[in-house]
Amino acid sequence: MLKNIDPLLDAGLLGHLAAMGHGDVLAIVDRNFPAASTAQRLVALSGVDVTTAARAILTVFPVDTFVDPAVLRMGAVGDEDTLQPVHADLQAVVDEAEGRAVSSEPVERFEFYRRAAGAYLVVATTEDRPYGCFLITKGVV
């Protein structure tokens, strides 16, 4: 038992997050993302949306301050630059956790898949809003 650890952060997920180093990338993805066929390491959080997952993860995970942008989001096909509601919600969670405005940018769908395949860890949620997929670069403490 640990104190002050979000219950979503079980031993497996905490172990992966702790093993990540500065510059490693975390993917937090929606239910439509091909996580099982893409991930090097996969943690599934059933019944959890991306903002809830991110809120828990960001209690222990520092976001990089040396790369710009530190957060990438999957853009809607043919409309990559439009900020979707799920994007705005995740951005608010990241900014709140970091206590600062964290830069983010859209990435075209297939480019997102390519980058996610190189992520250290993929956390698959059951987020049902489309384009609820994000890449977050780990910082230092």
What average pLDDT score do residues 100-127 get?
A: 98
Establish whether 16 is a catalytic residue: no
* pLDDT score, position 29: 98
CA 85 to CA 67: how far, in whole Å? 24
Structure tokens at 33: 């993302």
In sequence order, the 6+-apart residues with CB closer than 8 A to the CB of 30 are 50, 86, 125, 126, 127, 128, 129, 130, 131, 132, 133
Domain-embedded: residue 45: yes
Specify burial of residue 132 (Cβ count, 10 A radius: 0-12, 13-18, 19+): buried
pLDDT above 70 coverage of the chain, percent: 100
Domain-embedded: residue 9: no
Q: Which residues pair with 124 in a beta bridge?
A: 29, 44
Domain-embedded: residue 83: yes
Domain-embedded: residue 6: no
Catalytic residue among 10, 22, 34, 59: 22
pLDDT above 90 coverage of the chain, percent: 97
Residue 1 confidence (pLDDT) above 80? no
Q: Residue 2 — very low, low, confident or very high, per pLDDT cuts 50/70/90?
A: confident
Mean pLDDT for the chain overall: 97
Residues 38-61 have pLDDT tens digits of 999 999 999 999 999 999 999 999
Residues 56-102 have pLDDT tens digits of 999 999 999 999 999 999 999 999 999 999 999 999 999 999 999 99
Domain-embedded: residue 5: no
What's the structural domain count of the chain?
1
Identify the CATH number of the domain in which residue 38 sits. Answer: 3.40.1650.10
Residue 26 confidence (pLDDT) above 90? yes
* pLDDT score, position 48: 98
Domain assignment of residue 127, given as a range: 20-137
Domain-embedded: residue 37: yes
- pTM, two decimals, is 0.97
